Amino acid sequence: MTAERFPVEAGHIMMFARAVGAEHPAYHDPDDPATAAVGGILAPPTFVQASAQFDPDYFLRPKHGEPWFGSGAEASGVERTGGGGGGSGLHAEQHFTYHKPVRPGMVLHAVTRDGETWEKHSERAGRLVFRESITEYRDESDELVVTARSVGVKTEKVVNP
């Protein structure tokens, strides 16, 4: 996830909070005393994942005028290539370290670096290749706000229940 400019907006926090069933007033109501008690509106714990909205090249968002691998006239709009979906790439782990609250008005920038890579073998999925990436979200003063560590896995076979 690489968003050079991730403006944190109250409406986006509200929509994200609704999507994850986060009903505390601090996620949507600036006038509620419970919001004032925590210093104003803040974001739910996994919100920085939505920085994908501000990554101009994010590959899991359809872009106007470009082929998309989801269905249209056919079950898939393009030949499958690796990455993200299509039964080969899955999200295995996600970890967040919180340095300070994420609040509307902040403009974060995210810088991602590769972490470790390792392999396992499983009966269900065949050869598994794990790749770690670390993203640091910093504010306009370059202070660390959230550190995210993500682990993705590529499986040899489609994993069904």
DSSP for 24-74?
Answer: -GGGT-TTSHHHHTTTS----TTGGGGGGGG-TT-TTS--TTS--SS-SSS
Segment near another protein (CB under 8 A), from 44-52, 109-117, 126-134, 135-143?
44-52
Among 2, 10, 49, 104, binds another protein (CB under 8 A): 49
Residues 60-79, one symbol each (x = binds another protein by CB under 8 A, - = not), give xxx-----xxxx---xx---
Among 4, 30, 36, 95, binds another protein (CB under 8 A): 95
Q: Are 88 and 106 in contact (CB under 8 A)?
A: no
Q: Which amino acid is at 88?
A: S
Q: Is 160 in the site for another protein (CB under 8 A)?
A: yes
Select the residue interacting with another protein from 4, 5, 36, 45 (CB under 8 A). Answer: 45
Dist CA 115 CA 106 (whole Å):
27
* Smallest separation, CB 69 to another protein (Å): 6
CA–CA distance, 107 with 41 (Å, rounded to integer):
15
**What are the CA-CA distances from residue 159 to residues 14, 53, 90, 154, 156 (Å)?**
33, 28, 10, 11, 9
Question: Which of these segments, 56-64, 111-119, 131-139, binds another protein (CB under 8 A)?
Answer: 56-64
Give the C-alpha separation, 69 to 75, whole Å. Answer: 9
CB of 139 to another protein, least distance (A): 17
Min dist CB 85 to another protein, Å, is 4
Judged by CB under 8 A, which stretch of 84-92, 110-118, 131-139 contacts another protein?
84-92
Q: Which residues pair with 111 in a beta bridge?
A: 136
- Using CB under 8 A as the criterion, which residues of the chain lie in contact with another protein when the complex forms? 12, 15-27, 32, 34, 38-39, 42, 44-46, 49-50, 52-53, 55, 58, 60-62, 68-71, 75-76, 80, 84-87, 90-98, 101, 149, 158-161
